Amino acid sequence: MNSSFWNKAAINGLLLAFVSIVMMVIQTVFDMGKAMDIILWIVKLAGTVGLLYYFMKEFGKQCETYTYSDAFKFGLAVSFFSSIIASCYYFVHVAFLFPDVNTQMSNAILMGLEQTGATSEMNTDKLIANLPLIVCISQFFYMNILGLLWSSILGSSTKHKEPATPFDR
């Protein structure tokens, strides 16, 4: 059962990350404007939350008892694998596939630092050189926090009913 848990969590995490990756590529390749970016972000959010809910519910069907704790743990494991895959892809996306994104982020960061007057005090070249890695790590934590949040919310709706007495099992 334990290896089945991790195998299913890894496969489901891959599928969940695939949704984020496809949306990221669509937003990068097709520059559709701010309004469409917001709509795509909402679609991505609904798709990933719905898919996480589906995965948590499906995993519970094979279990005799499926408590909130079990659902939460599985949702968190799926989110963890998904965040590893998606953040690693994001590194490749920013560093190699679409370097224009890295340039745009670098320019935005430098402009913000210049407005605060912080560019004279810090080594901005080192910051810009490590930007893809910084983005990768920050995306990893961001996605894990969202996974924690959504797993805790969805866990209560995916659990099975608890037996009323020990004899009902």
The pLDDT tens digits for 62-97 are: 888 889 999 999 999 999 999 999 999 999 999 999
Percent of the chain having pLDDT more than 90? 64
Give the contacts of 40 (CB within 8 A, at least 6 positions apart): 23, 26, 27, 32
Neighbouring CB atoms inside 10 A of 84's CB total 17
For position 145, what pLDDT does the model report? 97
Model confidence over 106-135: pLDDT tens digits?
Answer: 899 888 888 887 766 677 888 888 999 999
The reported pTM is 0.87
Cα angle value 56/62/66 (rounded, 5°): 60
